[in-house]
Amino acid sequence: MSGIAAGEQRAQREAGGVGLFLRRWAANPLQMGSIVPSSPALGRKIAALVERGPDEVVVELGAGTGAVSRALLEGGVPADRLVVVEIVPEMARHLARELPGVTVIEGDAFALAEALPAALHGRVGTAICGIPLVLLPTARQRAFVEAVEAVAPGRGFLLYTYCVTSPLPCKALGLTGRREAFTPLNFPPASVWRYRRAG
């Protein structure tokens, strides 16, 4: 296949992904958190922050239509070391079609111990969250932190967000937080925060 034909196929897939994203946003805007998928610029910022040992996986939570997933693959995460968890069945099916070699799990990021195979517990190098946690009550945010800690003890997680200040109440959740990246080349402009258990 020529480079032009491959580029055209990719453009068609991405256009289909945008349509799916917009339909899901219209159905449940709070679940989606944004009206458009993440930009390649944001994806590259996230990919550059991944920490992973040779036997560890990267877990993306709330993968949507795969914009960040593709950036992770392009940034060097091997397909067999990327696991995406998506709660929306239609999006999970889309991801399984679009991301060959990637483990796609239709599951709940707030129940990671049940969603992820037991063999991956303790082998998560980086968890990446695209879920709009800032919109959730503190109790739900705490449940998310505990879910990640159950499968990735001590590793924390990356959260991409449109907040300039911390979208999570660190003290209330027992976390340390640091903004590690920012890009204006996203709509809206986005930050990437790294959170870990305090102490």
Give the start-to-end residue ranges of the domains of the chain: 3-197
**What's residue 9's pLDDT?**
47
* pLDDT one-digit tens code per residue, 15-72: 456 665 555 444 555 444 555 778 999 999 999 999 999 999 999 999 989 999 999 9
Whether omega before 188 lies within 30 degrees of 0, making that bond cis, reads yes
Q: Does domain 3-197 have CATH number 3.40.50.150?
A: yes
**pTM value?**
0.84
**DSSP code for 102:** S
Over residues 168-172, the mean pLDDT reads 98
Tokens representing residue 120 in the block: 């991956």
Nearest to 185 by CA among 36, 29, 17, 22: 36
**DSSP code for 161:** E
Using the structure block, give the residue that is written with the tokens 């992770």: 72
